Structure 1
Amino acid sequence: MSWPEPITLKGEHASLVPLSVSHEAELAAAADDGEVWRLWYTNVPSRDDMLMEIERRLEEHRSGRMLPFTVLDADGIPAGMTTYMNIDAKSPRLEIGSTWYAKRVQRTGLNTQCKRLMLEHAFDVLGCIAVEFRTSSFNRASRRAIERIGAKPDGILRHHSRHRNGTLRDTCVYSILESEWPAVKVHLDAMLKSYAC
């Protein structure tokens, strides 16, 4: 049996459902919104590459390395993708990553809601000892978002991999520990209340 198993997570500002090929057209439209795939330091699929990326993530799931989600906005419309990845069932721990959102939902409560749902499931249901986040050193918006939710920096993996254009990538690593989760949960709940005002 794979760990973790596919699940739907629902919140006021966003929901996460298991990724499906049936989401291709709506995810392609989401990627077109703001043309987020143009950022050279990210790996957001373009409209033309969406099906291939969905199939890649589903294959990673079948291999036990990833649990991919389609992110739905408050109206139930696909607005992006995210995953549990670098899964270590023995420890247990995982990374929340390969996340991207349409421009229309950026700077709303959607990302905060997604992280709240995923972290709660990881710590309170799956029993993770730590949850990790990684991003390119050039992705300052992502770094700020990770820090804003309460993750702490673990360090930088220099020349860790390559960006899709072939340039070397320094990867910034962050994490939230099991012992830190209660305070982070309170912090995320307070953030979500501010979006409701």
Structure 2
Amino acid sequence: MDPAIELRGRVVTLTGVRDPERDARELYEALDDDRVWRHVAGRPADIPALAGRLEDALVPGPSFPWIVRLATPYRGLPEGTVVGQTSYLDVSVPDARLEIGSTLYRHDVWASAVNPETKLLLLENAFDRLGAGRVQLKTDIRNERSQRAIDRLGARYEGVLRRYQRRAEGTVRDTVLFSIVAEEWPDVRRGLNERLRSASDR
């Protein structure tokens, strides 16, 4: 996909990586918090390490990273503030499927409109523009907060992938798998829009 693409909502704007050094500085500052990385392996050691990772992501392949910025002032943060990252992973055009993952947000936007609107924008792009038939999401079995968030999106629980991958501290994690298929997308979209309308009323 084109790094110049932009997905804009009421609260957040998603863009591809356009300037790895600048994006890395802003992203590192947003995510430099132990709580953010508790269940996620691969925490970058410093800004240059993160910049190198973003640079590598510019090479066309089965993944596409997104930078999540505020589209408007929100929770005391100014418009344009980088509040997180997410990605399309394991994109398979012949099979019309992809995964949404590597999602991390700064702690002060947890339990806000940021995640549901980010997922709504990504799902709209996947199903309505890219023609996906299936979008899947995975999380560590220990990460109950993430599991609840995915369930609230309207994704369907599919099961547990046992001994799926190594955690940063060396233990082996089981991974919980969820998915949304094209036939379910209209109901999922309706539910997400209702959540966002309710959030805007508060």
Same fold, judged at TM 0.5 (above): yes
SS of 2:104 mapped into structure 1: strand
Q: CA deviation at 1:195?
A: 1.2
- Call closer, same or farther: CA 1:167–1:112 in 2, change over 3 Å: same
Q: Name the count of aligned residue pairs.
A: 191
Counterpart check, 1:29 vs 2:33: no
Q: CA deviation at 1:52?
A: 2.2
- Superposed CA RMSD in Å reads 1.7
In 2, are the aligned partners of 1:159 and 1:168 still within 8 Å (CA)?
A: yes
- Call closer, same or farther: CA 1:117–1:142 in 2, change over 3 Å: same
Counterpart check, 1:167 vs 2:171: yes
SS of 2:125 mapped into structure 1: helix
Aligned match of 2:134 = 130
Q: Which runs of 4+ in 1 moved over 4 A?
A: none
- Structure 2: unaligned runs, 5 residues or longer: 73-78
Identity %: 34
- Call closer, same or farther: CA 1:98–1:51 in 2, change over 3 Å: farther
Counterpart check, 1:55 vs 2:70: no
- Call closer, same or farther: CA 1:100–1:120 in 2, change over 3 Å: same
Aligned match of 2:41 = 43
More helix per residue: 1 or 2? 1
Aligned match of 1:118 = 122
Q: Distance in 2 between matches of 1:120 and 1:154?
A: 22
In 1, are the aligned partners of 2:24 and 2:54 still within 8 Å (CA)?
A: no
- Structure 1: unaligned runs, 5 residues or longer: none
In 2, are the aligned partners of 1:31 and 1:101 still within 8 Å (CA)?
A: yes
For residues 83-122 of structure 1, the aligned pairs below 5 Å read 83-122=87-126
SS of 1:134 mapped into structure 2: strand
In 2, are the aligned partners of 1:36 and 1:44 still within 8 Å (CA)?
A: no
In 1, are the aligned partners of 2:36 and 2:106 still within 8 Å (CA)?
A: no
- Scaled by the length of structure 2, the TM-score of the pair is 0.88
Q: CA deviation at 1:45?
A: 2.7
Aligned match of 1:17 = 15
Q: CA deviation at 1:25?
A: 1.7
In 2, are the aligned partners of 1:37 and 1:45 still within 8 Å (CA)?
A: no
Task: Render the CA deviation track for 1:50-85: whole Å, top value 9, x for unaligned.
Answer: 442343244245141211011002322101100000
